[in-house]
């Protein structure tokens, strides 16, 4: 028997724009529907008043002045009209309204947080970067105090949540550390869309947001190691993503880098088909999961990643090429310049893609978690 639910989200996450937030949101919606939930969307716009933007420059937390004042009343009215048994809060920034919702919703209406990862996780990584890496990012005003306050806020917000759904087992453990009553995770799904792979023989591809601290650190450490091992002109790392100032800085710092910039979907597919491998160097545990890994798996091209890099993914056949230090990672990427090794790795990725969970199978798991069976 299908049950009704209210899906609460910032409007920007429900667009078809490329981005990890939009991709995770789309996957949550598809999985909830596969679990047997009839969803009605309740959207809101972020607070973009000049005063809010100025205050966020001093205190850059997404928990600050995020939500319009009438959102709780709109959710209550929609839940009452639809006899909703669930309210799904998309993104952890909505956790603060759970306390107000608990006061106005029926006791049998569950409040479920759909986490994309804790804000504090990546804030810590940004604060700990030093040396050349730290120069790529703006300095946080009172950063340590901001981190401490965010952690205390995140812990207090868990009190009124019935369930937190996460993108990886790592995030489940963080939620338990914060005191969440119940947290579970759902594996990532992969839509198979293989590329007409035609590698150039000297190209390694990287895709990522370059001012995201875990991405920047992983790429920097990988480039340092690779540059020390390869003569100029023998291997090229094609870097896709923004902002441009960081991409150009990396190209000036490392001769192996060819900065491509930000590409559209079709442009990226045409670029990626020329790579001997997709490099995904993540040497710390960031928030959520790496949605771009699902894209690379769907392309069925060779991938070199790390244990933190493939958090949140499951498969039953095939293997990813995994190395957990910059030295080992760069060695694996160099090996992928060999056509036979790259082709063997590609065959393994095809098996990973075919044996990854489907939306329907994850939907059945979610139905059990929500006790809908």
Does residue 324 share a domain with residue 364? no
Provide the sign of the torsion angle of the four alpha carbons 275, 281, 287, 293, taken in this order.
positive
Please check whether residues 171 and 26 belong to one and the same domain.
yes
The reply to whether 285 and 332 lie within a common domain is yes
Do 170 and 226 have their domain in common? no
Confidence check: pLDDT of 65 > 60: no
The reported pLDDT for the residue numbered 204 is: 98
Read off the tokens for 157.
Answer: 């917000």
Burial of 262 (0-12, 13-18, 19+ CB in 10 A): middle
Q: What is the pLDDT of residue 177?
A: 96
Q: Give the integer Cα–Cα distance in Å for 251 and 182.
A: 45
What CATH number is given to the structural domain containing 215? Answer: 3.40.50.2000
Statement to judge: residues 233 and 129 lie in one domain: no
Task: Give yes or no: residues 350 and 224 share one domain.
Answer: yes
Q: Are residues 295 and 241 in the same domain?
A: yes
pLDDT score of 62 more than 90: no
Domain count, the chain: 2
Q: Is residue 196 part of a domain?
A: no
Least confident of 43-52, 250-259, 272-281, 329-338: 43-52
Query: Do 238 and 272 reside in the same domain of the chain?
Result: yes
Say what the pLDDT of residue 20 is.
87
Question: What is the side-by-side strand order in the sheet with 321-322?
Answer: 257-261, 236-240, 203-207, 277-279, 303-305, 321-322
User: Is 114 inside a domain boundary?
Assistant: yes
Write the DSSP string, 117-168.
--HHHHHHHHHH--HHHHTTSPPPTTHHHHHHHHHHHHHHHGGG-SEEEESS
Tokens 């990988």 label which residue? 222
Q: Which residues contact 165 (CB under 8 A, 6 or more apart)?
A: 28, 112, 113, 114, 115, 183, 184, 185, 186, 366, 369
Q: Does one domain contain both 241 and 137?
A: no
Structural domain includes residue 52: yes
**Residues 156-166: pLDDT tens digits?**
999 999 999 99
What pLDDT score does 67 carry?
A: 61
Dihedral sign, CA of 53, 55, 61, 65?
A: negative
3-state secondary structure of 74: helix
| Residue 195 domain flag | no
For 171-271, where are the E strands, in sequence order?
A: 183-185, 203-207, 236-240, 257-261
> In the structure, what pLDDT confidence band is assigned to residue 345 with cuts at 50, 70 and 90?
very high
**Burial readout 61-100 (b: 16 or more C-beta within 10 A, e: otherwise):** bebbbbbeeebbeebbebbeeeebbbbbbbbbbbbbbbee
Tell me the pLDDT tens digit for each residue of 303-324: 999 999 999 999 999 999 999 9
Nearest to 76 by CA among 47, 106, 112: 106
Structural domain harbouring 28:
3-188+358-369
Return d(Cα 144, Cα 91) in angstroms, integer.
Answer: 23
Is the same domain home to 167 and 231? no
Question: What is the pLDDT at residue 143?
Answer: 82
- For strand 37-44 and strand 3-10, is the pairing parallel, antiparallel, or unpaired? parallel
Is the domain of 132 the same as that of 211?
Answer: no
In a domain, 193, yes or no: no
**Domain match, 10 and 151 both:** yes
Residues near 134 by Cβ (< 8 Å), separated by ≥ 6?
Answer: none
């Amino acid at each position: 028997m299908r049950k009704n639910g209210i899906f609460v989200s910032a409007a920007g996450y429900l667009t078809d724009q490329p981005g990890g937030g939009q991709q995770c949101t789309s996957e949550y919606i598809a999985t909830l529907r596969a679990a047997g939930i009839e969803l009605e969307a309740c959207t809101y716009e972020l607070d973009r008043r000049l005063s809010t933007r100025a205050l966020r420059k001093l205190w850059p937390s997404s928990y600050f002045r995020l939500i319009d004042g009438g959102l709780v009343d709109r959710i209550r009215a929609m839940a009452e009209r639809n006899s909703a048994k669930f309210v799904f809060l998309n993104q952890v920034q909505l956790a603060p309204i759970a306390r107000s919702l608990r006061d106005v919703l029926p006791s049998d209406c569950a409040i479920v947080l759909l986490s994309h990862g804790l804000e504090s996780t990546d804030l810590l990584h940004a604060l700990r970067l030093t040396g050349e890496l730290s120069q790529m990012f703006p300095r946080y005003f009172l950063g340590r105090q901001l981190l401490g306050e965010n952690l205390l806020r995140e812990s207090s917000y868990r009190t009124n949540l019935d369930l937190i759904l996460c993108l990886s087992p790592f995030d489940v453990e963080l939620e338990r550390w914060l005191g969440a009553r119940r947290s579970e995770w759902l594996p990532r799904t992969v839509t198979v869309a293989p590329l007409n792979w035609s590698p150039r023989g000297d190209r390694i591809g990287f895709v990522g947001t370059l001012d995201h601290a875990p991405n920047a650190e992983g790429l920097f450490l990988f480039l340092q190691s690779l540059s020390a091992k390869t003569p100029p002109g023998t291997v090229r790392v094609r870097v896709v993503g923004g902002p441009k100032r960081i991409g150009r800085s990396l190209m000036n710092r490392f001769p192996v880098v060819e900065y491509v910039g930000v590409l559209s979907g079709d442009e990226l597919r045409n670029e990626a088909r020329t790579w001997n491998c997709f490099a995904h160097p993540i040497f710390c545990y960031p928030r959520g999961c790496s949605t771009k890994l699902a894209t690379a798996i769907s392309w069925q091209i060779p991938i070199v990643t790390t244990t933190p890099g493939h958090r949140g993914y499951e498969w039953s056949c095939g293997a990813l090429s995994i190395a957990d230090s910059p030295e080992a990672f760069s060695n694996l990427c160099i090996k992928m310049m060999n056509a036979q090794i790259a082709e063997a790795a590609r065959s393994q990725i095809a098996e990973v893609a075919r044996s990854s969970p489907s939306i329907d199978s994850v939907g059945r798991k979610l139905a059990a978690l929500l006790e809908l069976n």
